[in-house]
Structure 1
Amino acid sequence: MTLSAKSKFALGLLPMALLGACADKPGPVGNVAVPEPAKAVALDLYLGKWFEMARYEAPFQKGCDRVTADYSLRDADPSDPKIKVVNSCTKDGKTSVANGKAKVVAGSQNAKLKVSFFGPFYGDYWILDRAEDYSWAIIGEPSGRYLWMLTRQAQPDAATRALIEARVKELGYDWSLVRITDQS
C-alpha cells in the first residue's frame, strides 16, 4: 500500500497536532514591540544560580513558587558553548525539576539563546537587559507573551526590585501582567 503525498503530509502533521492539543494556551501579549537585547552577555558571568523574582504567568509554570534556574556549561568548547539548564519550582508543597539545554544564537553577543526542555523543540530566550555586575537579568522572547525577572538573591532588596520594575516598564512590558514569585 502506498500513501499519497497528501496522506504523508497529513500524517506528518499528526504529532504536531497532538502536541498542540496537550499544550495550554499561552498568556496575553504583554509587549507588542519586544526590543532587542540591550547588552552583550559574558557567559561565564551569567552562568550559575538565579532566583525568579517575578514573571508573566506561563501555562507550564502556573502556580509555581520558589523558582530557580541553574546554568552551567555542558562542553568546554568556548567557540560553540552548550549550556545545561536546570529549573526548579515548588507547587502545592512539591518541588519539580526540569532539565534542559541551551545553545547561543550566533551573532547575538551571547544575549540570545535557544532553549529546549523536550526533544528537538527549541524556544527563544533573550537576555533583554542585565545589571553590570550580573546581579539581575530580564528575560523575554519575540512574541511578548513570556517574561522573567531573575536575581542572584532569593530576596532582592527594595531598591533592586524597584529598578527592575522600572526597567521592565521602560522595555515596554505591561507590569499589570507580572506575577511576583514567592521565594520564602
Structure 2
Amino acid sequence: MQRSNSITRENGVSNLHVGIVNNDPRQRKFSISACRRHSIELNENQFMLIIMFSNAETNERISYKQDGSRFGASQLTLKFATNSLYKIFVKARPPQDFVTLNIGGSELKLIQVDTDFGEYAAVWNTSDKTPTKKGTRQDIQFILVGDGHKTLNKNIQVKFYPRSDSHASWGQKLDQITWHCEVNEFGAVSVTEEQTV
C-alpha cells in the first residue's frame, strides 16, 4: 500500500491529508510478522498497537538511538527536530476505535485512514519544543484515548535537536514500534511488551 500524503496550512494550523493510492492489504507498510515470526493469540482485553513516525516534509522515517540503561526510563531514544512537522500513523490489531492522541502535551486530531484495519494518522508540530540538553533525554507522554474511556498513557524517551542540526536524522531508522497492550476493568491500557523494527 502506498499513501498519498499532503500537508496544508490554514490560519497557522497544519492539516494532514491522507489518501490510499493502492488499497492492497498485502502492501501495507505496517508489519506484525516482522516483530514476531510465530502467531500471537490475544484475548478480548488485549490488542497490539503499531506506531510509525516520519518527517512530514521528507517522508523519511525518524532515527533512534540505542542508549542501553544510561537513562533509566528506556533503552531507546527517538530523535526529533524542533520546529518540524511529523506524521504519526497508529494501527491496532484487532481494530480499536480511538478518538484523540496527545503527545508531549500537544492534542492532535486523529484522522481515520482505514476503518477495517483500525488505522489512524495525525500530524505533530514540534514548534513548541526546545532542544534537549547535551547528554540528557526527555520523557514525553504518549496518550491515546479510545471509545468507552479506554486510555493508554505511556512515556516515550526522546531527544529534540535544533532543526538545523543534522544529528536529528543520524542513526538507525525506526520502521515501527509495536506495543502489546492489555485493558483492565477500568479502561486503563498497559503496555506489557515493546518491540521495535
Q: Could you state the TM-score of these two structures normalised by the residue count of structure 1?
A: 0.30
- Return the structure number with greater strand share: 2
Q: Could you state the TM-score of these two structures normalised by the residue count of structure 2?
A: 0.28
Bigger relative contact order (CA 8 A; separation at least 6):
1
Q: Which has the larger radius of gyration?
A: 1
